[in-house]
Structure 1
């Protein structure tokens, strides 16, 4: 668990550097960085989903996930919470910025495999590797989203810590195929997030998050009949 805490602290440390640098970067440069991050997010998403052999399953999962997410109205609830934390100076509020950072840093397979291997066999190499990546990327994210980096680090800690703590229970469900499918669904969400970051279309990406659970639910249901 200490490695996962180090991962979150690396995000905070990189974020602090980014916030300091942010004070010396013009608004024009921040907007430029934000735009290229949107493009890179789309590229990351495409790289993760184009090799997929499960595109029909991913489409069904996203369809079902969107129905569930819109029924719950995840985006509306988050927007309601976000309004309470919106800054007076017009900056991106803490919650929406944190969720964007969290989605980019935690939708990949590495965020699942790292804490799983740590919990099951005590191997921490993947977590430490991810901590380096997240700490470096946090510098950029903090220069764009400011203090949102800190709640993002908390979300990362809760997500990866949760996987670590229940790794023995969820191991039979999180097969290599399920992890691959979750990663590919996450990659599609990254493309949608990049489109939203570039202000091409309001995607309400969080409403699609339940789709990530579909491979797990499918595996559980299938297990009852096989």
Structure 2
């Protein structure tokens, strides 16, 4: 069944969010901070591992070399500029504010923070793109099943810290991931290994940036950098 992986992922996010909201009153602010810092640290190393796996290669002479450095720099730079011009951060904030009005959460100051914080790690990354492509092209949702477990735990933690806003990350995940899955059949003739590697590399760097934001409470504009994923595909196509 095409799209099964996304369905399971969305259900896991909603379930994890509900669990986090139910038990949030039993979790002290100190424990939440520790959990968030631990999650941030884990996300940093997940992003770092993905980045290094797509940048480091062992040459024929046994020396360690780097690849795709220029592609990464160009993709992040152009992607960041495009994201800023498109006001992607503002668009997501407006979406979160719309959800606040729909669910009558105007006085919930944590709502937008929770929505954005949960949306970034669940929507940004190679696992979403590659998993959605595998589900659409090969009818193999196993990678998205794994992602569902990670997303459920992640959203549960964010929901415990920020409330209902985190649970609604299921909406952009369903739209983006499901859209990629159903469009995969049409883009199949143009997909190459180099394109997937480029997207995986840039996605891993963005995941690393998410970890920095969570661990150190920074405000790196990761949402504005999302077009870098598209730039990476174009670069590998014509580079």
2:190 aligns to what SS in structure 1?
Answer: coil
| Among 117, 121, 124, the residue aligned to 1:100 | 117
Kindly indicate whether residue 26 of structure 2 is the aligned counterpart of residue 24 of structure 1: yes
Q: Kindly report structure 1 stretches of 4+ aligned residues shifted beyond 3 Å.
A: 76-87, 198-201
* Whole-angstrom distance in 1 between the partners of 2:46 and 2:193: 20
| Among 86, 107, 128, the residue aligned to 1:88 | 107
**CA shift at 1:217, angstroms?**
2.4
1:113 aligns to what SS in structure 2?
Answer: helix
Deviation track 1:186-211 (CA, whole Å, cap 9, x = no partner) reads 22112222222244642122111111
How many residues get paired?
Answer: 220
Aligned CA distance change for structure 1 residues 8 and 200 (closer, same or farther; 3 Å):
closer
Deviation track 1:122-161 (CA, whole Å, cap 9, x = no partner) reads 2222222322332233322322232123321111111111
Kindly indicate whether residue 198 of structure 2 is the aligned counterpart of residue 181 of structure 1: yes
Which ranges of structure 1 fall in alignment gaps of 5 or more residues? Answer: none
Is the CA contact (8 Å cut-off) linking 1:107 and 1:183 kept in structure 2?
no
Deviation track 1:82-135 (CA, whole Å, cap 9, x = no partner) reads 456375253x224x4233323212333221222222222322222223223322
Question: What is the CA RMSD across the aligned residues, in angstroms?
Answer: 2.4
Aligned CA distance change for structure 1 residues 165 and 13 (closer, same or farther; 3 Å):
same
* Whole-angstrom distance in 2 between the partners of 1:182 and 1:213: 8
Normalising by structure 1, report the TM-score: 0.85
* Whole-angstrom distance in 1 between the partners of 2:39 and 2:28: 17
Aligned CA distance change for structure 1 residues 200 and 134 (closer, same or farther; 3 Å):
closer
Q: Partner residue of 2:207? A: 190
**CA shift at 1:80, angstroms?**
4.8
Q: Partner residue of 1:117? A: 134
* Whole-angstrom distance in 2 between the partners of 1:81 and 1:24: 30
1:172 aligns to what SS in structure 2?
Answer: helix
Which ranges of structure 2 fall in alignment gaps of 5 or more residues? Answer: 56-66
* Whole-angstrom distance in 2 between the partners of 1:173 and 1:110: 20
Q: Partner residue of 1:43? A: 45
Is the CA contact (8 Å cut-off) linking 1:33 and 1:144 kept in structure 2?
no
Normalising by structure 2, report the TM-score: 0.81
* Whole-angstrom distance in 1 between the partners of 2:49 and 2:19: 29
* Whole-angstrom distance in 2 between the partners of 1:185 and 1:177: 12
Aligned CA distance change for structure 1 residues 12 and 201 (closer, same or farther; 3 Å):
closer
**CA shift at 1:50, angstroms?**
2.2
